[in-house]
Amino acid sequence: MGLYMHTEKILVVDDEYLIRWSLQQNLTEENYEVDVAESGEEALVKVKGKNQPDLVLLDVHLPKMNGLEVLEEIKKYDSSIDVIMITAASDVNTAVTAMKKGAYHYISKPFNLDEVKLTVNKSLEKLRLERELKYIHNQKTKQFGFHRIIGESSATKDIIGIAKKIILSDSTTILLQGESGTGKDLLAQAIHYESRRRDKPFMPINCTALPSELLESELMGHERGSFTDAKGLKKGLFELADGGTIFLDEIGDMKLELQAKLLRFLEDRKFKRIGGTRDIEVNVRIIASSNKDLIQAMKEKTFREDLYYRLSVIPIKLPSLRERTGDVTMLANFFLRMFSKEFNRKVKGFTKASIEEMKSYHWPGNIRELKNVVERAIILDLNENVTVQCRPCKGMDSSSDTGDDGIDITIPPEGISIEEVERKLIKQALGMANQNQTKAAKLLHLTRDTLRYRMKKFGYL
């Protein structure tokens, strides 16, 4: 069943009354809405009228204006209308010409009504699938399009302007750089779903979350028996995303050996599965992101210079929220409406003091932190005018950007391993979230995949 009910409309065009009548009767019995016309001129009036048909059964031999001319006019007016030509059995050449001009198919006189119904059903089934695909595309665009990038600052407008130019090209490689929480993933999604690649997969992968060997397998796939646990053939994201987009999040954490393989892929869009000998060619757009300074990483020899320049065909720097303070109120109100709806709350807005506090706070966690602050406020403050608490701890100096994130960690005299700190933070977050991994990841500003990788590292999984 389709996404919505729609009675398909068919227009039968033939100068012979008995053929019009027979087709109308039989197709009406199939629950189609059927209209008729006895000339090309009448058919075009009906095609361009309020009751536009989804499908036209069109006789080739009509008085005055012949069927091929009518077909051309129909396709000029609306190329989505399918046309099935009705021809004489001996007129195959004309039928072939009609197909070249855009006809869906043809039926020959004298025709078998069951065959006519089958051809009509196939045509309309194709149209149903096209409508549903268009509906899904529209929903995806609504869900992931440029309208989700909130802000009226010049920086935000510049980014959207660049992105709208990018989507006109299918092959451009893009590098998004900016601090954590600035919306790099959001922009990557918008570029994909607003582009002509929108009906193909969008495949994100976090380069931090997986060890290098596993990341290579995820990207390129592997052949059966290529390593100990390779019990079957596995297609990687490069293959699965063919025609679409791969989003390489935090590419600055990718190991040098895999960087070299990625560079080779970017040069010719070909790769081999692990353990494979055959080149596989695909057409994917690569969008990479990093919150690291890749220029500095190149100087430190942890990121390849040639890969950097190959990725940054179109570099986009996403500003921190403190660099676009004019967008804070708009973003906060957007999240207020979103969470009010999600939690079934009726709120008028923020208190004036909250607005001023949000404007003056330096937002080290950027948009992600603002979103979390508003969500917390909606949950905890049951008043009509919501009060927010931006600063994680009292006494924090909001006028300076010290990089302090409000977490009070005391290093003991004997010192402490950074991994031990990480382990304790993960344990604490899981406890606060009642072992809900999604919520715990949110508390730590991690993706769920990254959290799970670190949980495995510390034996929590």
Of 107, 125, 124, the residue nearest 116 (C-alpha):
107
DSSP letters for 110-134: SPPHHHHHHHHHHHHHHHHHHHHHH
Q: Note the pLDDT of residue 430.
A: 85
Asked if the 418-457 domain carries CATH number 3.40.50, the reply is no
Q: Note the pLDDT of residue 230.
A: 74
Residue 147's CB: how many other CB atoms inside 10 A?
12
Q: Note the pLDDT of residue 89.
A: 66
* Domain boundaries of the chain, sorted by first residue: 9-140, 145-319, 322-386, 418-457
Same CATH fold assignment for domains 322-386 and 418-457: no
Q: Tokens 């010192």 identify what position?
A: 415
Q: Note the pLDDT of residue 287.
A: 96
Q: Write out residues in the chain with pLDDT < 70, as ranges.
A: 1-6, 89-90, 135, 137-142, 391-415
Of 36, 79, 33, the residue nearest 59 (C-alpha):
36
According to CATH, the topology of domain 9-140 is Rossmann fold (3.40.50)
Q: What are the structure tokens assigned to 218, written together?
A: 């995820």
According to CATH, the topology of domain 322-386 is Helicase, Ruva Protein; domain 3 (1.10.8)
Q: Tokens 């027979």 identify what position?
A: 22
CA angle 126, 109, 104 (to 5 degrees): 20
- Cβ 36 vs Cβ 126: under 8 Å: no
Q: Note the pLDDT of residue 446.
A: 81
pLDDT in tens, 243-264: 999 999 999 999 999 999 999 9
Residue 12 to residue 164: CA distance in whole angstroms: 43
List own/partner pairs for 222-231 with CB under 8 A and 24 or more apart. 222/273, 222/274, 222/275, 222/276, 223/273, 223/274, 223/275, 223/276, 224/275, 225/275, 226/273, 226/274, 226/275, 226/276, 227/274, 227/275, 230/274, 230/275
Q: Note the pLDDT of residue 251.
A: 95
Q: Note the pLDDT of residue 142.
A: 67
* The CATH number of domain 145-319, selected from 3.40.640.10, 1.10.10.60, 3.40.50.300, 3.30.43.10: 3.40.50.300
- Cβ 189 vs Cβ 232: under 8 Å: no
